[in-house]
């Protein structure tokens, strides 16, 4: 089967979408399928080229470590802000359509086209390419679109007066019916959560399949959490994107509250994103026991999990977030470390069912501070080890690849 994937994110970038398609691509190629990918040069999250390797430049085509052939599209450099990112996604999506029509006709025509969202402009580009090539299209929705637009005023800069507020209001009104129509135009939809799949089925989408994210069990898991630390503190780790959707300012406030109650807690935040500056400012303002570190190479991630007693997985309290499972949750479950889950919905249900940690309501600093104070006082609660077992049963990589493969073969009728 020949598969053509349109996506805005690909290695050597690092992040949840890139990790997801690394194992999906490898699994599909290992099973004998041909996978071609249309993606811009690596420039996430900075908005600037990550390297000068000509194999990654616009127009280049090169087979990568997964065995897929990667065709690089144009892109638009950007700085901070959603407007620049949106324009970049639109440029890359438009060039994906152009390049797809140029390179994948005749004998190179795919059996199925897949459009991975976000970026959102990838979906109409994939649908247009599928129509032009007379091939079915699968829409992969990694976030709860269009439901996430209900919170547009928050992630677009707040509800204050001015252009951003007006843009957010316009987006909430105009885009949801358009996005739902595009989803219905696809021959099948892939979601990463069962809860969002159920929502889409209620809207009349007929063929919706859930293919979860996952994480491999670590070959060398971190050592058990010690009975005590030399500094006497509970070590709380957050490792990942420090963006609008993660709500890490609330975690800083929780650490400050725990310290005021006399609980020995240190929160370490490792990552970058749109809210890093706000997190640093809040930590200074509250004199909170918080360390904010820059991103680290993948080979050093194990050191951070060894340092940690519990790992924070956090989301905003936006309604659509209850339909979302942070991919970081699966990675932490694979380590066997206790999880402090400031989440709701399906993510909270997984944590409770697996016994991999404790759950508090998202964006409730008082409750999160109370959890950390309790863990600091009774470290026996840190021995939550059910995560790896849950992954093996519910999110095994080979089974997930098989599920995706079956859907693509069904849609392509091969």
> Model confidence over 391-402: pLDDT tens digits?
999 999 999 999
Q: How far is CA 413 from the centre of its chain?
A: 30
Tokens of 175: 């885009």
pLDDT grade for 287, boundaries at 50, 70 and 90 = very high
Residue 351 has pLDDT above 80, yes or no: yes
**Maximal C-alpha separation, the chain:** 70
What confidence tens digit (pLDDT) does each residue in 21-64 have? Answer: 999 999 999 999 999 999 999 998 889 999 889 999 999 999 99
pLDDT grade for 154, boundaries at 50, 70 and 90 = low
SS3 content of the chain, % helix, strand, coil (to 5): 50, 15, 35
Tokens of 330: 């699966």
Nearest of 330, 326, 356, 331 to residue 343 by alpha carbon: 326
Beta strands in 258-325 (DSSP E): 265-270, 290-293, 310-314
Dihedral (Cα; 14, 16, 21, 27), 10-degree rounding: 100
Asked if the domains 2-214+396-412 and 234-393 are classified in one and the same CATH topology, the answer is yes
Mean of the pLDDT values across residues 238-266?
96
**Alpha helix (H) residue ranges in 207-275:** 248-260
What phi, psi does 159 have (nearest 5°)?
Answer: -100, 15
Residue range 234-393, CATH number: 3.40.50.2000
**Could you give the angle at which helices 387-394 and 345-354 cross, rounded to 10 degrees?**
110
**Alpha helix (H) residue ranges in 287-395:** 301-307, 327-335, 345-354, 365-377, 387-394
Residue-level pLDDT at 239: 95
Q: What share of the chain in percent tops pLDDT 70?
A: 93
Please report which helix (H) or strand (E) contains residue 405, including its range: helix 397-412
- DSSP assignment, residue 70? E
Count the helices and strands in the chain (H runs, E runs). Answer: 14, 14
Q: Where are the domains of the chain?
A: 2-214+396-412, 234-393
The CATH classification of domain 2-214+396-412, taken from the options 3.40.50.970, 3.40.50.2000, 3.90.320.10, 3.40.50.1000: 3.40.50.2000
Say if residues 17 and 142 touch (Cβ distance below 8 Å).
yes
């Amino acid at each position: 089967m020949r598969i053509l994937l349109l996506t805005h994110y690909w290695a050597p970038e690092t992040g949840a979408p890139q990790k997801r398609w690394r194992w999906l691509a490898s699994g599909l190629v290992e099973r004998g399928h041909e996978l071609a990918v249309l993606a811009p040069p690596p420039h996430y999250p900075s908005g600037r080229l990550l390297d000068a390797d000509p194999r990654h430049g616009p127009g280049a085509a090169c087979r990568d470590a997964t065995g897929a052939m990667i065709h690089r599209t144009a892109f638009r450099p950007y700085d901070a802000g959603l407007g620049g990112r949106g324009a970049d996604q639109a440029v890359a999506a438009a060039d994906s359509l152009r390049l797809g029509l140029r390179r994948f006709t005749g004998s190179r025509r795919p059996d199925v086209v897949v459009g991975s969202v976000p970026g959102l402009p990838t979906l109409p580009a994939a649908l247009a390419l599928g129509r032009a090539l007379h091939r079915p299209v699968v829409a992969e929705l990694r976030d709860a679109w269009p439901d996430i637009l209900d919170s547009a005023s928050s992630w677009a800069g707040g509800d204050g007066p001015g252009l951003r507020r007006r843009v957010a209001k316009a987006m909430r009104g105009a885009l949801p019916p358009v996005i739902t129509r595009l989803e219905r135009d696809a021959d099948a939809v892939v979601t990463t959560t069962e809860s969002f799949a159920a929502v889409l089925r209620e809207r009349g989408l007929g063929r919706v399949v859930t293919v979860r994210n996952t994480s491999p069990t670590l070959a060398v898991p971190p050592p058990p959490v010690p009975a005590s630390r030399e500094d006497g503190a509970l070590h709380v780790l957050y490792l990942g994107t420090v963006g609008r959707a993660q709500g890490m300012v609330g975690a800083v406030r929780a650490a400050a509250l725990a310290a005021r109650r006399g609980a020995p807690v240190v929160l370490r935040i490792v990552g970058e994103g749109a809210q890093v500056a706000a997190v640093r400012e809040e930590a200074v303002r509250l004199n909170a026991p918080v360390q904010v570190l820059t991103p680290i190479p993948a080979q050093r991630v194990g050191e951070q999990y060894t340092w940690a007693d519990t790992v924070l997985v956090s989301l905003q309290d936006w309604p659509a977030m209850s339909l979302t499972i942070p991919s970081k949750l699966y990675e932490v479950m694979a380590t066997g470390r206790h999880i402090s889950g400031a989440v709701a919905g399906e993510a909270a249900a997984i944590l409770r069912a697996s016994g991999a940690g404790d759950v508090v309501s998202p964006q409730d600093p008082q409750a999160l501070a109370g959890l950390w104070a309790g863990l600091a006082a009774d470290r026996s609660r840190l021995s939550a080890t059910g995560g790896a077992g849950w992954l093996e049963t519910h999110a095994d990589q080979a089974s997930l690849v098989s599920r995706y493969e079956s859907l693509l073969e069904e849609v392509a009728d091969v």
